[in-house]
Every structure is written in structure tokens, then in C-alpha cells.
Amino acid sequence: MSVTAASQPATDEAPTRRRVRRAPGSPGRRPLTGLMFVAPTGVIVAGLFLVPLAILVYMSFTDWPLLASPTPNGVDNYRNLAHDDRFVGAIGFTLLYTAITTVVLFAIAFALVAISNSHRRGTRFYRTAFFLPYVVGTAAASTMWWVDSSDSLGVFNRILEAVGLIHKPVGFLDTPGKALFSVITLVVWKFIGFQVLVLLVGVQSIPNELYEAARVDGASTWQRLRYITVPGLKPTLALLTVLSVTGSLLAFDQFFVLTHGGPDNSTVTVVLALYNKAFQSFRLGDAAAEAVVLLVALILLNFIQLRLLRNRENS
């Protein structure tokens, strides 16, 4: 990028002269200068990502107990994964969770965008209210939810009892279904603000003239939505889908803090399974293998998603 920008002032000159002038200098000096500029980033990426990644991959081919010294064991860890019911179950649960979360987040976000994009009074208040939970950390929010949803300590049951909807505590974390429901309410409350904000920016970046022109041509509300808003929002929707899917596949805090993977191991996500393998069972080699599998899956998924989105934009 910077190279193109730097060479742009030279476009006025004759092509031949430019080629002559650049030939002796650029292959020697320019790349070196460029390298020096990217070197700090390169060092950081290498030190904090590539080297640890290499260690992780190495770990995944060893039997690595936390306290003893590691011994290489080939592809045993990967073979174990295929027979690990907990890990396979976690993949299924994580996909289910990702699907539900993504759909629910979008559905609610659209409704809230409609509210906060109107010109009624109180719009600013709503926007702030929707966004506020986003600044709470996930672990802190999960702890809040854990306390609030408790039968004996929490306010959720008290409120529902006070308005007469229930007569005894619900037990928000007692069954797999209720636990998943509680996590999804937490995630919606926590992340909806970001979703709404990004969508709002997307909606407002669509030029008003288009709507006016359409209205003049007699387009109905539905037609304006179908032919102006949705196409105009495509890049935004693409971005949010990628973020939401990736974030949900990597979900950890809310399950670790709120459900501990329970009840009866019904809410164990892939990252929670990986964490347990490493820090409950202390089998670092197996955990590393899971991490590698997860990494590869995420890279593939993001590649496919971006590819699909790019095609759509081109067409």
C-alpha cells in the first residue's frame, strides 16, 4: 500500500525516465527501508504469535503433563481427539450456540436499529442504553448474571415473582435448555449494543437521496427496504456475520463463569473443553492438539466466509 502511495507523485514524469531513475536505487535501498519500517511489527508478530504458534504445534505432537517433562508421541493426541466424546460433543454444542446466537442477535438488532434510527424523542437515550452493557467485561457481566439468576440471591426471580409471572424460582441454570437460554440472554444483553451501533452506522451511510428518489418514484416502504437498505447494508452485514460467528465459536468466558459447562456438561464449548483439558486434566499435549484443530477450522471458515462475501460484492 505505502509503496503505491510513494510512487504516485512520479506518475507525471515520462515512463522511461522513471524506469531509469528507479532502477539503480530501489532494489537496493527501498526494500531495506521498507523492511525497517515493518520490522517492529514483524518482531511483535513473530514473538507473540508465530513462535508461540510453533511451540503450540510442537506441543500437539507430545505427551506434555503439566509437571513432568514432555515426550513426543506422534499423532496420538489427534487420534485421541476423534474418540473424545466431550470434544466432539463440544463441537456440536458450539455450532448450535453459534447458529442461535447469530440469528437472535441479528433479529433483535434489526428491531433496535429501527427504534434508534427514528426521529422520535428519546432516541439518544435508547442508543446509549443499548450500548452501555457493551462496555461491561464479559466475565464481569457473567458474574452479574450468575448472581442475578440465582434462586436465592438473584433479582430475576424476585422481579418475575413480583409481577406475578411465576410463583416459585425458575432455576435459570437447572436444565440444559434453561442454562443455554440464560447464556443467550446474557450474550444478547452484552453484545447487542455493538451490533446495533455498527448497523446504525451502515444504515445512516446510505444516502438519503436514494430514499427520496425512490419515494418520488412511488416505492413502498417494503420496496425501499428490499432494494435500498438491504443492498446498502451488505458489507456491514458481512462484517457482523464474520465477527459474530468467530466470536461465538470462540465463546468461553460466559460459559466458564456462568454455567461452568453445566448442568451435566450440557454447555461445554470447544474452548471450554480445551481449557479443561489443559488446566483441569493437565494434559497440555491434548489441549494443544484441540487448539490446532480449532485454529485450522476457524481459518477455513473465515476464508470461506470472506470468499462468499467477496463474490457477492463483485456480482
Partner 1 sequence: MAPGTDRSAAPAGARRRGLLSVAAVAAALTLAVAACGSGGSKSTSSNPDDGTQLTMWVRSATDQFSQRLVDAYNQSHKNQVKLTIIPNDNYLTKVGAAAGSHSLPDILASDVVYTPNYTKQGLFADITSDIKALPYFSSIAQSHITVATYQGKIYAVPHKLDSSVLFYNKDLFTKAGIDKPPANFADILADARKITALGNGVTGFDIAGSCGGCGVYTLFPYAWAAGVDILPDNGKKVNINNDAFKAVFTLYKQLTDEKLVDSSDKAQDGSTWPANFEAGKVGMLALGSPIVGDLLKQTSFQWGVTPLMAPDGSKTSTFIGGDVAGIAATSKHQAQAWDFLKWTLDDNAQVEIIAKNGDLPGRTDLSGNKYTAADPRTKLIADGLKNGHTPFALPFGDLFNNPNGPWVETIRAAIYGNDVNKALSDGQAKIQAGLDAAG
List residues binding partner 1 (CB under 8 A).
Answer: 66-68, 86, 150-153, 168-169, 171, 173-174, 260-265, 268, 272, 276, 279-282
Query: Of the two residues 240 and 268, which places its CB atom closer to partner 1 in the complex?
Result: 268
Smallest distance from partner 1 to CB 177, Å: 14
Q: How far is the CB of 160 from partner 1 (least distance, A)?
A: 14
DSSP codes joined into one string, the chain: -HHHHHHGGGGGS-HHHHHHHHHHHTTTHHHHHHHHHHHHHHHHHIIIIIHHHHHHHHHTTEE-BSSS--EE-TTHHHHHHHH-HHHHHHHHHHHHHHHHHHHHHHHHHHHHHHHHTS-STTHHHHHHHHHGGGGS-HHHHHHHHHHHT-TTT-HHHHHHHHTTS-SS---TTSSHHHHHHHHHHHHHHHHHHHHHHHHHHHHHTS-HHHHHHHHHTT--HHHHIIIIIHHHHHHHHHHHHHHHHHHHHT--HHIIIIITT-STTTT--HHHHHHHHHHTS-BHHHHHHHHHHHHHHHHHHHHHHHHHHHHHHH-
CB of 173 to partner 1, least distance (A): 5
Residue 117 or 174 having the CB closest to partner 1: 174
Minimum CB separation of residue 106 from partner 1 in Å reads: 30
Smallest distance from the beta carbon of 59 to partner 1, in angstroms? 12
Return the number of the residue (18 or 151) whose C-beta is nearest partner 1.
Answer: 151
Q: Closer to partner 1 at the Cβ: 192 or 258?
A: 258
CB of 235 to partner 1, least distance (A): 40
Cβ closer to partner 1: 87 or 191? 87
Whichever of 254 and 265 has its CB closer to partner 1, that residue is 265
